[in-house]
Amino acid sequence: MKMITKKIKHCAIALAVASTAGAGFSSEVEAQELNMLAGYPSNFAWYREIGPSFIEMVEEMSEGSIQINVQGPDVVPTFEQLQPVQAGAFDLLFTHPAYHSGTTAVGLAIDAIDVDPVKRHEEGIIEYIDQHYQERGLKLISAPSTGTKGFRFYLREPITGEPGLEGRRIRGTVSYQSMIEELGGAQVNMPVTDIYTALQRGVIDGAAWGLTGASDLQWHEII
């Protein structure tokens, strides 16, 4: 497996949003169960490093009165999860803003901002994004960072000329689209859960992905 890294500032984030249309959070602490839809399997690094801690903090701060049940992308496909949460079918969503960029790309703007949670709050970035989601019936709960910089491309074959991705089909999201196209590649949109099979079958020639969770994905087994 060949990997190239473009060193530019990049911060991949996960969002947890609570639907204001569903059960949501009560102003009084009362026993309730909330259903959280997750864009990643429970054993995947992004969820594993953030999800359980979020759930534990909610349970601790509510003194055990709020329990969160997690359902993954096998229930609702990753790119289709925002609308059911907006409609109140689920109370929470653990996702990445690139996965609902067709509805709004505002969450992606945080990729271009320094990875400093204190400054993000002080400068009003988190509040701005929160207000934007509230206009769409959602409440921003958390925007943790999972990286600091670097776009990475994991390829079946090494780069031998310029532009480096000429004629290749590369899995990506809106975060990577401009770079893939500038390097001569064609972007193929798909959730991370489909990448392994797509590489195995030759549907794509590589994948754009960050560093977090790369070893978990085990692409080195097939490319």
Same domain, 101 and 178: no
Last residue of a domain, one of 91, 124, 142: 142
Share of the chain above pLDDT 90, in %: 42
Lowest-confidence pick of 19-23, 75-79, 135-139? 19-23
Same domain, 60 and 131: yes
- Return d(Cα 208, Cα 72) in angstroms, integer: 22
Same domain, 105 and 184: no
Same domain, 106 and 20: yes
Same domain, 135 and 162: no
Per-residue pLDDT of 135-144, as tens digits, reads 998 999 888 8
Same domain, 88 and 157: no
Q: Residue 178 sits in a domain of what CATH number?
A: 3.40.190.10
DSSP label of 13: B
Domain boundaries, position 41: 12-142
**Long-range contacts formed by 53-59: CB under 8 A, 24+ apart:** 54/16, 54/94, 54/142
Same domain, 136 and 152: no
Same domain, 152 and 99: no
Per-residue pLDDT of 142-162, as tens digits, reads 888 766 656 789 999 999 888
Same domain, 91 and 73: yes
**In sequence order, what are the beta bridge partners of 138?**
19
pTM greater than 0.95: no
Same domain, 204 and 184: yes
Phi, psi torsion values for 186, nearest 5 degrees = -115, 125
Domain count, the chain: 2
Last residue of a domain, one of 114, 142, 170: 142
Same domain, 57 and 92: yes
pLDDT at 20 over 90: no
